[in-house]
Amino acid sequence: MREIKLSLKEPFIPPLDCSVINTDNFYQNSLEEIKALKIWRGNREVSLEDVFSIHEENISEQGDIKIYIEGDLSKARRIGQGMSFGEIIIKGNYGLYLGAHMKGGKITVYGDCGSWVGVEMEGGFIEVKGNVGDYLASSYRGTTKGMKGGTILVNGNCGVEACGWMSGGIVKVMGNSGIFPGIHMKGGIIYVKGDCAGRAGANMIAGRVIINGKVDDILPSFKIEEVRGSVKVGDEKIEGPFYVFVGDLSDEGDGRLFVHVNNNPHLKKYEEYIP
């Protein structure tokens, strides 16, 4: 097991492109090589050592690699991009594109994250202890391929358009969600434990959007199918009862939108339309 600790030397203002900080890249390199890796700070290319103080500990033959990063990284981006194994632990707030295109391994953030967490992710596990920004587990600008697999757990709230174009995997948001969770969804599951700001599942074709809290309104292009006692999210069983809606019918979709019955008494009118 290699443990590499990075701590920020001083706070920085320009954005920091950290796409070299991922386990695959560090595993192949010695400590000296890691220190010399080039990253972009604003429009200047600097070495990793200029920004972080770097230490290596616990070198043993067994196990893979763990990277600890400390400091206020809210201007950093692309940490863990494309990584396939090992673990990254970030203590502090973090910026954009956490674990983009990630294929495996684990990332934990003890703090808040910016937008594009797990963008186009293919596998692995991301846990964020705080809130995340917009476009959680979604596709990047223009593409129609969102998260394909893996799991994301957010302990706080998420912003708008979570799980856009998602086609597989599980996303759990323990707080509230902004508008448009599961937009253009083609598969996979998003579970929002708190409230949703609305327009859940717009343009979805398949997959599941589960809202445990309150949602003001259901899109008119969804029709009610049944009331179900519980729903499964991975191995976890969430107790209901839930209204189950099918949609988005404007896209001839067959996705399922689950909304908790007890937290949404204003949706009672739908019950008379249950076939």
Partner 1 sequence: MELIIKNGIVYDPLNGVKGEAMDIYVKDGKIVEKADGSKAQVIDATNMLVLPGGVDMHTHFAGPKVNLARMLRPEDHYKDPQRKRGVRRCGTGYSIPSVFTTGYWYAEMGFTLAFEAANPPLKMMHVQDELNDTPLIDKGAYPVFGNNWYVMESLSKGKIEECAAYIAWVLSAIKGYAIKVVDPGSVEEWKWGKGQIGDMDKQVENFGITPKEIVRGLAKVAKLLNLPHHLHIHTNMLGNPGNSEVTLETMKAVKDLVTNGELLIHMAHLQFHSYGGKEKDWNSFRSGSEEIMKYINKNPYVSFDMGQIAFTDTTTMTADGPFEYNLYEITKNKWMNADIEFETGSGIVPIEYKRDNFVHSIMWAVGLELALLSKDLWRVALSTDHPNGAPLTFYPRVISWLMSKKARERVLKLIPSSARSKTLLGSIDREFNFEEIAIITRASPAKLLGLKEKGHLGIGADADIAIYDINPKALDPERDYRKIRKAFRFAKYTIKDGKIVYKDNEIIEHFIAKTYWVNPHIREDLYNYINSELERNFDKYYTVKISNYKIPEGYLVKSKRIDIITKL
Task: Choose the stretch contacting partner 1; rule: CB under 8 A; options: 142-150, 190-198, 216-224, 242-250.
Answer: 142-150
Please check whether residue 88 is in contact with residue 113, taking contact to mean a CB–CB distance below 8 angstroms: no
Between 144 and 230, whose beta carbon lies closer to partner 1? 144
Total site size for partner 1, rule CB under 8 A: 5
Q: Does 142 bind partner 1 (CB under 8 A)?
A: yes
Q: What percent of the residues of the chain are helix, what percent strand, and what percent coil, each to the nearest 5?
A: 10, 40, 50
The distance of closest approach from Cβ of residue 179 to partner 1 in the complex, given in angstroms and rounded to an integer, is 21
Tokens 């908790």 map to which residue?
260
Whole-angstrom CA distances from 11 to 18, 47, 55, 74, 76 are 15, 16, 19, 10, 11
Q: Does 144 bind partner 1 (CB under 8 A)?
A: yes
The distance of closest approach from Cβ of residue 244 to partner 1 in the complex, given in angstroms and rounded to an integer, is 25
Please check whether residue 46 is in contact with residue 15, taking contact to mean a CB–CB distance below 8 angstroms: no
The distance of closest approach from Cβ of residue 220 to partner 1 in the complex, given in angstroms and rounded to an integer, is 21
- 57 pairs with which residues across the strands? 3
Q: Does 250 bind partner 1 (CB under 8 A)?
A: no
Task: Choose the stretch contacting partner 1; rule: CB under 8 A; options: 100-108, 138-146, 208-216, 265-273.
Answer: 138-146
| DSSP classification of residue 234 | T
The distance of closest approach from Cβ of residue 144 to partner 1 in the complex, given in angstroms and rounded to an integer, is 7
Contact residues for partner 1, defined by CB under 8 A: 140-144
